[in-house]
Structure 1
Amino acid sequence: MSIVRRLFQREPDPQAIEVVHEGVAYPVALRRMPQARRFTLRVRAASRDAVLSMPARARLSDAVAFAHRHGGWIATRLARIPEGLGFHPGVVVPLRGMAHEVVHRPERRGTVWVEDGAIHVAGDADFLARRVQDFLKREARRDLEAATRRHAAAIGVKVTRIGIRDQASRWGSASSTGAINYSWRLILAPPFVLDYLAAHEVAHLREMNHSPRFWRIVRDLCPHMEAAKAWLRANGANLHRYGAG
């Protein structure tokens, strides 16, 4: 690399910065976005931090200044995120939107089962949290696979793979190869919300955008689309608190 090229090459951005507001430091991740036209901030409930998106050619110093000017906004939004709740005996978990208490059954053999409105967990207490989360992921996969296959058949698209993850920034994603990924936390939401997310991602296999045509496909697949979107706006962030404490 020539000396001139090194002189004009931009130093890599840090992955994150800290914004201090009233003596408290808040982590802010930095993301350069080719399509961005201005600075934007959002908070992530799952990782309890903020993300600053900036245009590809923006100056890092301007981005940092923007984040610091909005320190109060960041602090207020992060304070609204509910405290995490670990999976331990007595915790109430909203399985398919319905409250279920976690009950430890050390005298029983097996893993996890639902009975009388409770999630019963057998075996050693040290493995209880992992068993509950594994159970929820299995239930999520079952419901999401069924909804995905049903919607895919309705519009004649092929799903090549369904993945279940703990996605922090989105509930689902679809690729042009036919692969779809979902957050396992959708099993905590009411079934009509899970159904909407499955319809949303399947529709992307026909339209890889958010055009009016895309939304018509989603609405045809899921008549309760607007109710599900409203539920997610009001309650979605709360789903990230479970299993985090």
Structure 2
Amino acid sequence: MSPFGRAFADGDQLSVAGAVVTLKIHRRARRVSLRLDRARGEIVATAPSARRLGEAAAFARERAVWIAERIAELPQASPIQPGMTLQVFGETVRLEAGTGRARWLAASENYPARITAMGEGEGYARAVMLVLKRRALEVLTERTAHYAARLGAPMPRVAVADAKGRWGSCRAGRLGQPGSIRYSWRLALAPYAVADYVAAHECAHLLELNHGPRFWAHVKALVGEARPHREWLRAEGARLHAFGRP
């Protein structure tokens, strides 16, 4: 039994100041520490070993005020409802009530792009997010094809999901099979150039499954400097993850 109470395991969670605190082991850590995971909207309490996870839990409870302040800084989700205006890949899109299947209506001379969906409350929100996921898959598949061709790599399978930790992930192909890339659909809420950078980043992994110099050379050849896009995601990622969440 830990001197700080019950024994804890890597990944255990507790509630402090109304926030979720996840206990994690990081073998290279030299001390117990706390950080805010903005994408997940939770606090991570890190310890160098399993033996010190109880200490990490106790430290989190001692820092309840700090935790409450950090959670209060996170973006608050706005209800998804007709009349709302979004930026989708940098394009202004208006949400409207409609009938039938939820759909994307391209911009015309007289109207901005629109998403129409029926229902209300959570039902309306789910329908809108389904359209956004389809739009994300369409655009990111096109950009993936573009960058895979520039790199001379076979076109990978492309999918979108609601990953909280990564904007994209790549698996190399094996035995003559194409690789696969999975993106966060929430990239649809980012500027086009930022989402385009993520597509280039993941396609570069088709050739280099690492973040070494050759990998970054591929990325730079495709989209130029990565830093502005990476900084935008760090600064605004929590807002994208908050969209549509209860």
Bin of the TM-score, shorter chain as denominator length = 0.7 to 0.9
- Identity across matched positions, percent: 37
Residue 16 of structure 1 corresponds to which residue in structure 2? 13
TM-score when scaled to structure 2? 0.80
Aligned to 2:161: 165
Please state how far the C-alpha of 1:142 moved relative to its aligned partner: 0.8
Whether 1:121 and 2:121 are equivalent positions in the alignment is no
- Note closer, same or farther for the CA distance 1:226–1:119 as it changes in structure 2 (3 Å cut): same
Give the alignment's TM-score, normalised by structure 1. 0.80
Instruction: Report the Cα distance in structure 2 between the residues aligned to 1:40 and 1:149, rounded to whole angstroms.
Output: 42
Matches within 5 A, 1:40-55: 40-55=33-48
Letter in 2 for 1:80: E
Deviations 1:107-126 (A, max 9, x none): xx443223422524144446
User: Structure 1 residues 102 and 150 mapped into 2: Cα distance closer, same or farther (>3 Å)?
Assistant: same
Change over 3 Å in CA distance of 1:198–1:13 after alignment to 2: closer
* Distance 1:227-1:11 versus aligned 2 partners, 3 A rule: closer
Cα distance in structure 2, aligned partners of 1:86 and 1:112? 19
Pairwise CA distance, 1:197: 0.5
Q: Does 1:83 align with 2:80?
A: no
Q: Provide, for residues 139-164 of structure 1, a one-character-per-residue CA deviation record: whole Å limited to 9, x for no partner.
A: 10011111112112222333542220
Q: CA 1:32 to 1:179, structure 2 compared with 1: closer, same or farther past 3 Å?
A: farther
Q: Which runs of 5+ in 1 are unaligned?
A: 1-9
Give 1:214's aligned residue: 215
Which blocks of at least 5 consecutive residues in structure 2 are unaligned?
1-6, 174-178
Q: Quick one: distance in 1 between partners of 2:212 and 2:11? A: 34
1:186 aligns with 2:187: yes
Please name the residue that 1:5 is paired with.
none
Alpha-carbon distance change, 151 to 38 in structure 1, aligned in 2, over 3 angstroms = farther
Residue aligning to 2:233: 232
* Equivalent position amino acid for 2:216 in 1: W
Please give the secondary structure, in 2, of the residue aligned with 1:43: strand
Matches within 5 A, 1:47-126: 47-106=40-99, 109-114=100-105, 115=107, 116-125=111-120
Q: Distance in 2 between matches of 1:227 and 1:165?
A: 24
Query: C-alpha displacement at 1:56, in angstroms?
Result: 4.6
> Aligned pair in 2 of structure 1 residues 96, 13: CA closer, same or farther (>3 Å)?
closer
Provide the residue aligned with 2:4 in structure 1.
none
- Distance in 1, Cα, partners of 2:170 & 2:76: 30
122-131 vs 145-154, greater mean Cα deviation: 122-131
Q: Please give the alpha-carbon distance, in whole angstroms, between the structure 2 residues aligned to 1:220 and 1:72.
A: 46
SS of equivalent to 1:59? helix
Which stretch shifts more, 191-200 or 222-231? 222-231
In 2: Cα distance, 1:105 partner to 1:25 partner: 38
Letter in 1 for 2:114: I
Distance 1:145 1:47, change over 3 A: same
